[in-house]
Amino acid sequence: MSAQTARTAQTADREQAGTTGELPWIEDAGKVAPMDARRLSRLFFDRLQTLEEGTHAYQYARNTLIEMNLSLVRFAANRFRNRGSGDMEDIVQVGTIGLIKAIDRFDLSREVEFTSFAVPYIVGEIKRFFRDTSWAVHVPRRLQELRVDLAKAKEALAGVLDRDPTAKELAEYLGIEESEVTEGIVASNGYTAGSLDMPTDTAEAGPGQTAGRTFADVLGDPDPAMEAVENLHALAPLLDELDERERRIIDMRFGQEMTQAQIGAELGISQMHVSRLLSRMLGKLRSGMLVQE
């Protein structure tokens, strides 16, 4: 080895030592065996406490700890594989957030294994993910948590009463108002969504047949005539504000469906004058309608 090559190698070693903060260089931390990861994690945590946050050495130590312990995330994520919602990749990503939180909050002085400390953080983050995303419609967090309490209360009271408890009994059991129980039960309907193509009553169908009507068939449609009625009610007081000739012109144009030329001949004015009058009156009426909205 030439002197130049030796100096280059020494320079590279010094740069790497500066980058790693005198920690061992791990090329692929994700492939470290679990037993080795546990031993190395203690070393990296011990060094991490002395490194200045934001430095290359600190980032190397923190990132290596994350990669070495990703097996904990995969282990925890497997418990939620059959939850029926949420892609496995999303669950692992959410669990990784829990792992990072655990790494940032872990302290060697607590004398607990990092695995025991990290798993509750990982599982908690995944559970929070399912709690926030498993609802078919958006429901406030308070009602989501109330749904869980109601389910537990129903199970407990059903075993004692040998029947489903009433809303009043649930309220007394939970120490809340009966109206809150009702609100929670209604909110629970947002946990799952049914298809509009589902039959309204499968019991009406004969053997081997499906029900003829679906939920979509019996849903009402918006009635366009209702908007017309609302507009007429809003328009009535505005028409009263017009003078007698203006109301007469409106009646001839829209009530009797006369042309502008016919209106002009009836009133002895030009068609152009009628057009200007109508434009002014309709503009006034539109402005009044907008103010009411």
Q: How many Cβ atoms from other residues are within 10 Å of residue 110's Cβ?
A: 10
Closest CA to 253 of 241, 217, 239: 239
Alpha-carbon distance of 221 to 114, in angstroms, equals 59
Residue 6 has pLDDT above 50, yes or no: no
CA angle 54, 55, 61 (to 5 degrees): 95
Find residue 214's DSSP bridge partners: 199
- Lowest-confidence range among 56-60, 74-78, 224-228, 239-243? 224-228
Are 127 and 16 in the same domain? yes
More confident of the two residues 20 and 246: 246
Count of H-run helices and E-run strands, the chain: 14, 0
Are 209 and 232 in the same domain? no
Are 229 and 213 in the same domain? no
Question: Residue 285 half-sphere exposure, CB side, CA atoms within 13 Å?
Answer: 21
- Based on the structure, what is the number of domains in the chain? 3
pLDDT at 195: 53
Alpha-carbon distance of 181 to 187, in angstroms, equals 10
Are 83 and 128 in the same domain? yes
> Residue 192 belongs to what domain range?
141-218
- 64, two tokens: 């290596």
pLDDT at 2: 45
- Of 133, 162, 180, the domain-final residue: 133
180: domain CATH number is: 1.10.10.10
Residue whose entry in the numeric block shows the structure tokens 């692929």: 28
Is residue 42 helix, strand or coil?
Answer: helix
Alpha-carbon distance of 185 to 168, in angstroms, equals 12
- DSSP single-letter state for residue 31: G
Highest mean pLDDT among 32-36, 137-141, 188-192: 32-36
Angle, helices 88-105 vs 70-78, to 10°: value is 130
Residue 11 has pLDDT above 50, yes or no: no
Are 17 and 119 in the same domain? yes
pLDDT tens per residue, range 203-230: 444 444 445 566 556 555 555 555 666 6
More confident of the two residues 194 and 22: 22
Give the pLDDT band of residue 96 (cuts 50, 70, 90): very high
Are 260 and 207 in the same domain? no
Residue 15 has pLDDT above 50, yes or no: no
pLDDT tens per residue, range 103-127: 988 888 877 888 888 888 898 888 8
Residue 16 has pLDDT above 70, yes or no: no
Are 66 and 178 in the same domain? no
* The overall pTM is greater than 0.75: no
Give the pLDDT band of residue 286 (cuts 50, 70, 90): confident
- Of 83, 117, 133, the domain-final residue: 133
- 279, two tokens: 């434009």
Are 12 and 94 in the same domain? yes
pLDDT at 191: 53
Are 129 and 207 in the same domain? no
Q: Which residues of 83-102 are buried (b: 16+ CB within 10 A; e: fewer)?
A: eeebeeeebbebbbbbbbeb
More confident of the two residues 150 and 205: 150
Is residue 238 helix, strand or coil?
Answer: helix
Alpha-carbon distance of 25 to 17, in angstroms, equals 8
- 119, two tokens: 């798993």
Q: Quick one: what percent of the chain has pLDDT higher than 90?
A: 7
Closest CA to 125 of 88, 160, 92: 92
Q: How many Cβ atoms from other residues are within 10 Å of residue 109's Cβ?
A: 6
Residue length of the chain: 293
pLDDT tens per residue, range 161-218: 888 888 888 888 889 888 888 877 766 655 555 555 556 554 444 444 445 566 556 5
- Of 83, 101, 133, the domain-final residue: 133
pLDDT at 99: 92
pLDDT at 9: 39
Alpha-carbon distance of 24 to 214, in angstroms, equals 66
Are 92 and 195 in the same domain? no
pLDDT at 262: 92
126: domain CATH number is: 1.20.120.1810
Are 29 and 103 in the same domain? yes
Are 211 and 251 in the same domain? no
What is the residue-averaged pLDDT of the chain? 76
Closest CA to 99 of 60, 126, 134: 126
The distance between the two most distant Cα atoms of the chain, rounded to a whole number of Å, is 114
Is residue 199 helix, strand or coil?
Answer: strand
Residue whose entry in the numeric block shows the structure tokens 């993910």: 129
